[in-house]
Each structure stands twice: as structure tokens, then as C-alpha cells.
Structure 1
Amino acid sequence: MAIEFLESIQKGEVSKLTNYETMELEQVDDVLTVTLNRKNNLNAMNLTMIKELIQLCDWLREERSVHYVVFTNQGRIFSAGADVFEMFEGMDDEDFKNEELRRMQLVGQEMIRKLESMEQITIAAINGSAYGGAVAIALTADFRLLTENSVLNLPETNIGLFLTWGCTPRLVKTVGALKAKEMIMLCEDISAEESVQWGLVNKVVAKDQLKQEVDSIIAKIRTKGSHSIRLTKKMINASAAPNFGEIVMTENELVEKVVLAGETKRKLEEFHLSKQK
């Protein structure tokens, strides 16, 4: 799974606007809208979606006609986060234990890094609640909008994991250590209003006003100097970047240690049983 995906990424395989299984792309002028579309699976992020997001970033690095990228969703929630049941299928197999866990983390880290470093201005138009890895994706965006009555939630410790893909230090930089511990350790819903107060999103909007607000942000940026906007993004991202090189380097092995200890399997089984009740 993750091994083959990582190898294809390293070979530089790049897709354009077609042939995506997990999302729909639409370009109007210089605005590309990326719509997550696994709504029958609550837009959960399986390895295919992660690979396709990486391929999208690779294509956009060379695509000069796109200046703005909007991430949004089909269905009632933005995304349920990582599709843990698919990703951890076969976790009792020795090959999985020895290699797959580490490789899955490398793929996730690569996705977050590439989304964060895109030269285009990115907007997360979060139409519904977002969980786990979906919150991580949203946090890579330059602007984040969240619809009313939606929540953000980090459920990782509920299933015997911790916030991975290099996202824990990013979250600490965004909300501070105290709030990061609250989000990750308690796994409680963060309301739309709290999300603004904590600096997780820029604004809360009504569902029927989401596109209008996206268009408004883009219209305002269009009036600025394009070179100064691009350099401003780079300068701010560089200034906000946490010094977490050692954390990212060791995170893969830490995940492997947690999973092989047996806690993740037990918590996943408990979670699965709770959803069947």
C-alpha cells in the first residue's frame, strides 16, 4: 500500500485535472476548486486520496495558470480524517509491522509538507465538521473558513494514536501548547466560534455564504501586487515554521512503537464496536 504509493511519488508521477478517484477539480480562470468526494465514506482520507493530493501539488508547482486553490467538500462533513480502518487493515501481518507503518507516516508527512509549501494562495472552505487529518489539511491553508454549527476535532488518542504527519508542532505553533494539549488529549469538539478564538480558522460563515466569502477573499488579494503576495506568504510561513526537524525524523518510529504495543489495535476495535451500537 504505502510502499507502492511512496515509490510512485518518488518517480515523479503527476496527474492533471482528470483521473482522480477521491476528488473533483474545476478551474475557472485562475481559481482551482478541489472538492473532496468520498462522501459515502464521510470523505475519509484513504491512501489513494493522500497520493492524489501529493500528485496535485506536484502538478500545481509547474502550472502557471492557477493562482488560487480552494479546498472544499461534497457531503455533510469536510472529512472524517484518515481512513484508519483501511490504513491499518492487515496490521497483524509481519510485513505490515516491519515496513508499512513507517511508510504510511512518510506519505502523510509528504502530503502536509507539499500542501503547506504550495506557491498558490490556498483557501480551506470547510463545509461541515473536520476531524483528525482533515484538520491537519485545513491548517496548511493560507485562509480557513468554517461553516456555522460545525466543529473541529482531533480524535487520535481515542484510537490509541497521537497526532502525526508532523502536525503536533504545527498545531502548537497555531494555538499554543496549552490548547494543543486540550485538543489532542481530550478529543473534544471545538466549536466554530472557539475555532476562531483559538486561531484555527479566520471566520465562521453560513453555508450559503461560503462561496461568496471565498470569492471576496480572492477579489481582495487580486488588487495587491502578485509578487509581494507570494513573497509575503513565503516570509510568514518561514517565520511561523516550527523547528521540529528531529520530531519529524523520529515520528515514524514512534508511531510504529505505539501501534506494535497493541494499544492502537485494541482502541480501534473498541471504536468500531461503539459505532455498531
Structure 2
Amino acid sequence: MVVVSEASAATTRIRVDPSRTLSATMVDEVTMVGEGGALGGGPAPVVVLWLAGGHAAADAWPGPAAASTIEAWEHALRRIERLPAITVGVLDGRCGAAALELLLTADYRMATRGASVSLPAPGEAWPGMLLHRFVQQCGLIAARRVILLGGDADAEALTACDAVDRVSQDPAGEIDAIVARAAGVDGRDVALRRQLLFDAVTVDFEEALGTHLAACDRVLRRAAGTGR
């Protein structure tokens, strides 16, 4: 279940229960977040995904879902990944693979002390885009160690392979600090720079140059007051 627990001009905090099996309802909820529908009409500069739902069995994800539902889920995650806002993921408690899928869409990722993700037995990992994101963001060696071997990956192990940025004893306080730093941020600028970072992983210099120059031109024109 996706619940907007707090919404303001500065932050939208969404509690996500990742312990369920995949369903059309779950896809619709996450799609609503990615399209801004759960964010009071549009995302604030900071959107927080609080991932906590109690224990999820390692082999429960995704459950008996249809191929069309799986495709819709992947598109829903991609929308969150492209939100015009700074996204913060918080892993809280013992969760399943769905929590890790959602966590890796966030720009900044925290885990509470004692948090963990239960992954399937060796060789039984769900072959969704989690595998792609994990390799892209954490590297092939870490992906093989964490994903292929399965078992419980605790907060410290996830931090060691960069799936989590920080294990925090006060995630709420850290979120408040991020909100303060993001005051006045234009979410469209966040989305643009995030996409340039994504592209840098696979696009060579010559191909990327035009896109970067166009982004620079946009910033210069806006600073000069001649456009946005």
C-alpha cells in the first residue's frame, strides 16, 4: 500500500509497503507516485519513499503476476526514476526484493539500523530490471555477490556495495537536512541533470556533447532572463 503520510511545499513523504506480491493495484499505486498523482498535484522539491512493510518472504516476489503487469511495473519504476524532484529512499526493517527495486530508483538512499532485504536462493533471483539497475549503479562484482548468492543482505552489506548510501540512526533528521539544502530547487533542473548522469554511463563524449551544450545554453538564457 502507498500512503502519503505528509505533503507540503518542501517535501512529500510516501510510505510504501513492499511486502506484497505484485498486482495491478500495486502497479497503479506506484504509477500514481511517478506521475505526481499521489503528490498533491505535483512533486515537491524532495520526495521521500519510506519502504517498510514488515517481513517479506524471499521467494514471494513477484508472485503469480501476468507479463503485462510486470511490464507495467517496470514502467512505473522508471517514472519514479524520472521524477522532477530529488528522491530519497529509506529502507526500514526487514523487506523483500520489491523494496530493493524501489530503493534503487531513488537519488539518495538510507537504511535504518537493522534494516535488511531478503533475496531468493542462489540462482533464483527475479530477472527483472533490478539486475540492470544493480549492475549500473553498484557494479558487476557486487551484483554477482549480492543478487546471485541470495539470502539476507543487511544494511551494512548494502552500504558496502553502494546500494545504500548511508545507515542512519536518524533518517528523519537527515531528510530534514536534505529538504533544507533543496530549498528553492526547480525539479525540472534535477530531472535534467539526473538524465545527463544516467547517459554518461553508456553514451560517449562526442554523442553526449550536444545534449550537455543544449543544457548549458538553457541555463545561460534563463540566467540572462531571456528564457527558461
TM-score w.r.t. the length of structure 2 is 0.74
Unaligned runs of 5+ in 1: 1-21, 89-99, 243-277
Partner of 1:31: 11
Determine the C-alpha separation between the residues in 1 that align with 2:136 and 2:52.
30
Structure with the higher strand share, 1 or 2: 2
Measure how far apart 1:179 and its partner are.
1.7
Q: Is the 8 A contact 1:145 1:202 kept in 2?
A: yes
Structure with the higher helix share, 1 or 2: 1
Measure how far apart 1:237 and its partner are.
2.6
Q: 1:195 to 1:161 in 2, by over 3 A?
A: closer
Partner of 2:20: 44
RMSD (CA atoms): 3.0
TM-score w.r.t. the length of structure 1 is 0.62
Determine the C-alpha separation between the residues in 2 that align with 1:157 and 1:108.
24
After TM superposition, the structure 1 stretch with the greater mean CA deviation from structure 2, 115-124 or 57-66, is 57-66
Equivalent residues in 2 for 1:186-225, closer than 5 Å? 186-206=149-169, 209-222=170-183
Q: Is the 8 A contact 1:45 1:82 kept in 2?
A: no
Q: Is the 8 A contact 2:116 2:153 kept in 1?
A: yes
Matched, 1:66 2:44: yes
Determine the C-alpha separation between the residues in 2 that align with 1:35 and 1:69.
11
Determine the C-alpha separation between the residues in 1 that align with 2:135 and 2:142.
8
Partner of 2:32: 55
Amino acid at match of 2:166: K
Number of matched pairs: 200
Determine the C-alpha separation between the residues in 2 that align with 1:193 and 1:237.
25
Partner of 1:173: 136
Partner of 1:8: none
Q: 1:224 to 1:110 in 2, by over 3 A?
A: closer
Q: 1:45 to 1:220 in 2, by over 3 A?
A: farther
Determine the C-alpha separation between the residues in 2 that align with 1:71 and 1:240.
25
Amino acid at match of 2:197: I
Instruction: Choose the corresponding residue for 1:105, options 65, 70, 83.
Output: 70
Partner of 2:219: none
Determine the C-alpha separation between the residues in 1 that align with 2:154 and 2:172.
21
Partner SS for 1:59:
coil
Q: 1:108 to 1:218 in 2, by over 3 A?
A: same
Measure how far apart 1:45 and its partner are.
4.5
Q: Is the 8 A contact 1:36 1:73 kept in 2?
A: yes
Measure how far apart 1:231 and its partner are.
3.1
Partner SS for 2:84:
coil
Unaligned runs of 5+ in 2: 204-228
Amino acid at match of 1:34: I
Determine the C-alpha separation between the residues in 2 that align with 1:104 and 1:151.
26
Measure how far apart 1:106 and its partner are.
0.9
Determine the C-alpha separation between the residues in 2 that align with 1:198 and 1:73.
19
Q: 1:187 to 1:223 in 2, by over 3 A?
A: same
Partner of 1:273: none
Provide the identity percentage.
Answer: 19
Post-superposition Cα deviations, 1:128-164, rounded to whole Å, max 9, x if no partner, equal 2332121011000001010112223432757x45331
Q: 1:52 to 1:135 in 2, by over 3 A?
A: same
Partner of 1:251: none
Determine the C-alpha separation between the residues in 2 that align with 1:51 and 1:224.
28
Equivalent residues in 2 for 1:1-277, closer than 5 Å? 22-25=1-4, 26-37=6-17, 43-47=19-23, 48-60=25-37, 63-64=41-42, 66-73=44-51, 75-76=53-54, 84=61, 87-88=63-64, 101-155=66-120, 160=124, 162-164=126-128, 166-206=129-169, 209-222=170-183, 228-240=189-201
Measure how far apart 1:228 and its partner are.
4.8
